[in-house]
A and B are shown apart, each in its own frame.
Chain A
């Protein structure tokens, strides 16, 4: 089992604050690191897939970095908005993905 750990488990931020979460994973036999956004009552939606050490990806106010040598990835949200409230999942693997339990973000207006 390739354990993927995410922290914090949950957090509340004020609208306009910037925030970040961590995904940790075993660094051996690395293929790819995925980030998904999962809103309540919906399905997970892909944010980023990263494969190379040092990868940085950005989509609007959300960005992610990857360090495969030390086994971690950060997800950053700049200027959080209420619509950013969701659970953010990371997963490691190729076809056979291993997911973390997610970070539940609540943005308070």
Chain B
């Protein structure tokens, strides 16, 4: 099993450009998540999908959109990138119940100039 995979690993965007970060999991998990990691701050939840067909805002959703394409895939889109969105983005997945740990992907390092 590959676990949670993310593409791309690195990306540089200019302000105003758009892009989609891809995430897939092969563990048959119901829930998937997008986080961002910034220096000096904890992981912050952007959006999550508790099950296929549902999405909910997390702590920092502004400037992002998500799509739960199917049970395996959960994408994060930046419509008009801003320098404040320079960050490392992690995707994660888990079983539906809150007591289950989350499994993280390798991360995407995004720089917006």
| Per-position 1/0 for A65-109, Cβ under 8 A of B | 000000000000000000000000101011111111110000000
Q: Report A's interface with B, CB cutoff 8 A.
A: 1, 4, 31-32, 34, 36, 42-46, 49, 51, 89, 91, 93-102
Whether B101 is near chain A, meaning CB under 8 Å from some CB there, is: yes
Q: Complex: how many Å from CA A49 to CA B45?
A: 18
CA distance A34 to B103 in the complex (A): 12
A-B contact pairs, 10 of them (CB 8 A): A36-B101, A44-B104, A89-B43, A91-B42, A91-B43, A96-B59, A98-B59, A99-B44, A100-B42, A101-B41
Partner of A96 from B48, B90, B99, B103 at Cβ < 8 Å? B48
Of all A-B residue pairs in the complex, the 7 with the closest CB atoms, nearest first, are: A46-B101, A94-B98, A99-B42, A43-B104, A99-B43, A101-B42, A44-B104
A34 to B31, CA, bound (A): 16
Binary contact track B55-91/A, C-beta < 8 Å → 1, others 0: 0101100000000000000000000000000000010
Interface size on B, residues (CB 8 A): 26
Residues from chain B with a CB closer than 8 A to the CB of A42 are 106
Shortest Cβ distance from B92 into chain A, in angstroms?
A: 8
Q: Which residues of B contact A45 (CB under 8 A)?
A: 104
If A43-B104, A95-B31 touch, does A32 touch B42 (CB 8 Å cutoff)?
no
Residues of the A chain whose Cβ atoms lie less than 8 Å from the Cβ of B48: 95-96
Kindly report which residue of chain A lies nearest to residue B98, judged by CB atoms. A94
Q: Does B7 contact A (CB under 8 A)?
A: no
